[in-house]
Amino acid sequence: MYKLYTRPNSGGFVVEAALALAGLPFDQIDVPKPPDPAFLDISPLNQVPVLTLPDGNSITESAAMCILLAERHPDAGLAPASGSPARADFLRWMAFMASVIYPAALRFFYAHRYTADPGGLEAVKLAAVTEMDRGFAILDAALEDRDWLVGDKLSLADIYLVMLIAWHPDIEKARIAWPNIERLWAVLRQHPVMRKLNASHGMWPA
């Protein structure tokens, strides 16, 4: 059985969605702040989420967890099939979001980690939002005339994207600035699994 260490309104949202969509049983452990010392043995940087696999090994990085779950459970349709043209797009956009937007969000919400100058916090935050905005503009363009970010049906790339847009510090601006992302988000806000998860994570209005 899988074991998911997570916190509300964290990257665990998309991993929890992946497990739920695949119908996989899992134990969910909400990690307190500060964490239990035993948690630091599997996540030395105190990162959530962490996914412990049925074989007992644990991995961090939510995008990696999504890709792994899609590979291990292909019948669940979490991603385009391996070897398909859309699979390349799936890997591309998952890596893009994980390397551009996710770390920019971390720099905004945890600016103190990224500068030794107490007077530099606002500059770190401003640069982070600028980087987020650049990334979202690229993704919005990729969604032009498309229902889904990759392939012809919902994938974890779509859920990962709406999780990230929900973290934008000016959500009303985001909904206007990137109408294609908002269109996708509007669909997912009505998805039964997303509605259930949002009730526990509180990432956007019900």
Q: Check which CATH number belongs to the domain holding 10 and give it.
A: 3.40.30.10
Q: Which long-range contacts (CB under 8 A, 24 or more apart) does 192-197 make?
A: 193/17, 193/20, 193/21, 194/17, 194/159, 194/162, 196/20, 197/13, 197/16, 197/17, 197/20
As a whole number of angstroms, the distance between CA 65 and CA 7 comes to: 16
Residue 202 located in a structural domain: no
As a whole number of angstroms, the distance between CA 199 and CA 47 comes to: 23
Q: How many residues does the chain have?
A: 206
Residue numbers of the domain that contains 59: 2-76
Whether residue 144 has pLDDT greater than 80: yes
Rounded to an integer, the average pLDDT of 102-131 is 97
Is residue 15 located within the same domain as residue 44?
A: yes
* pTM (2 d.p.): 0.96
Q: In what order do the strands lie in the sheet with 2-6?
A: 26-30, 2-6, 50-52, 58-60
Is residue 37 located within the same domain as residue 97?
A: no
HEC readout, 65-94: HHHHHHHHCHHHCCCCCCCCHHHHHHHHHH
State the residue for tokens 């390349």.
88
Residue at a domain's end among 76, 106, 128: 76
Residue 96 located in a structural domain: yes
Is residue 113 located within the same domain as residue 130?
A: yes
CB 128 within 8 A of CB 187: no
Is residue 67 located within the same domain as residue 36?
A: yes
Over the stretch 49-94, which tens digit does the pLDDT of each residue have?
Answer: 999 999 999 999 999 999 999 999 999 999 999 999 999 999 999 9
Residue 193's Cα: distance from chain center in Å? 15
Cα angle value 54/198/91 (rounded, 5°): 55
How much of the chain, in percent, has pLDDT values that exceed 70?
100
